[in-house]
Amino acid sequence: MSKKPISSDSCLNMTLDSVRESLIGQEDTIIFCLIERAKYPINCPLYDESVAGVPSSLVEYIVKETEALHAKVGRYESPEENPFFPENLPPLIVPPHNIPQVLHPSGISININKTIWDMYFNQLLPLFVRDGNDGNYVPTATCDLHCLQALSRRIHYGKFVAEIKFMDAPEDYSPAIRAQDRATLMSLLTFKNVEEMVKQRVEKKAMVFGQEVSLNDPDDKKGKYKVDPSMVSRLYGEWVMPLTKLVQVEYLLRRLD
Ligand SMILES: C=C(O[C@@H]1C=C(C(=O)O)C=C[C@H]1O)C(=O)O
C-alpha cells in the first residue's frame, strides 16, 4: 500500500491508505443519512414541479437556497465540497480560509452532481423509501439534502484518490493520459478486491447501524433493519463506486493539462 505523501509542499501527507480511511468514515455518514430519510414516506409533493410560491420543486428550492447560504460562509472553499447548483452562487461574506492546494487545478472544477441528483431521485429513493404522504415536507427535504451532500462528497473524493494514484505512479498513468485512453485509465485505477470489501462492509454497517432495538423480546425485531442492508451494498456496487471511478477518470484525463 502507498505511504508516499501526496506532495511535499501540501503538508497534508495524504496517502492512498489515508484517503481510503476517509472513504470508510464517509460510509457511516451515508448510511445514517439513508436511515434518517427512510423514516419518512416518499412525500411526492416535494418533487412536484408546480408548487405554488416557489420557482421550482420544493426540494430543489430548499437545496438551492441552502447552498446559497453555505456559499456565503465558505462551504465551497473546500475542494471536498461541490454544489448541485453552482450557477449564480453568492460571493463569500467571510474571509477566505486559504486551504492548501492539493488537487491539480484543471481537475478541481469537475462536478457530476447532475448525474448524482438524477440517480438519487429517480433510482435510489424509490428503492428504500415507502409510499405515502405524511406532510413532513421540509424535514424530508432536509434529509434529501443531507443524503445528496454525503453522496456527492464521497463520489467527488475520487479526485483525491486519483491524485494520489497518479503521484504514486506517474509513469504508469501518463501514457494513457496523453492518449486520452479512458479504458486503460479505468483499468489502472480499479481494485476489484477493494470494491468487494467495500460492498461487504457497507452491508454489515447497515445491519449494525440500522438494527431495530427491542427491550422486551430480543427476537421480536431480529432480522429487521431500518434500511435494507443488501440495498446499501447495491447502492455502492451500482452507483457510488462506478461514479467515484468516473470522477477519477475525468480527473486523470486533465492531470497533465
Ligand atoms: C476509491 C478507489 O478506487 C476505486 C474505487 C473504489 C471505491 O469507490 O470505493 C474502490 C476501489 C477502486 O476500484 C480506491 O482504490 O480506493
The per-residue pLDDT for range 14-29, each reduced to its tens digit, is: 999 999 999 999 999 9
Indicate the pTM of the whole model.
0.94
CA dist 114 and 125 (Å) reads: 16
Cβ(187) – ligand 1 distance below 6 Å: no
**CB of residue 151 inside a 6 A radius of ligand 1:** no
Residue type, 127: L
Number of H helices, E strands in the chain: 12, 0
189 lines ligand 1 (CB under 6 A): yes
pLDDT-derived band at 215, boundaries 50, 70, 90: confident
Distance between Cα 206 and ligand 1 center (Å): 20
Cα 241 to averaged position of ligand 1 atoms, centre (Å)? 7
Average predicted confidence (pLDDT) for the chain: 93
Distance from Cα 98 to the centre of ligand 1, integer Å: 29
Residue closest by Cα to atom 2 of ligand 1: 161
The one-letter code for the residue type at 163 is: E
pLDDT at 221: 64
SS3 letters across 41-86: CCCHHHHCCCCCCCCCCHHHHHHHHHHHHHHHCCHHHCCCCCCCCC
CB count in 10 Å sphere of residue 38:
19
Determine whether the shortest distance from the Cβ of 161 to ligand 1 is under 6 A: yes
Is 191 a pocket residue for ligand 1 (Cβ < 6 Å)?
yes
DSSP alpha helices (H): ranges in 74-136? 105-108, 113-118, 125-128
Coil, helix or strand for 225?
strand
- Reply yes or no on whether the pLDDT at 1 is more than 90: no
> Counting atoms of ligand 1 from 1, which one is nearest the CA of 192?
13
- Measured in angstroms, how far is the CA atom of residue 128 from the centroid of ligand 1? 24
**Is the pLDDT higher at 11 or at 229?**
229
Counting from 1 in the atom list of ligand 1, the atom nearest the Cα of 158 is 1
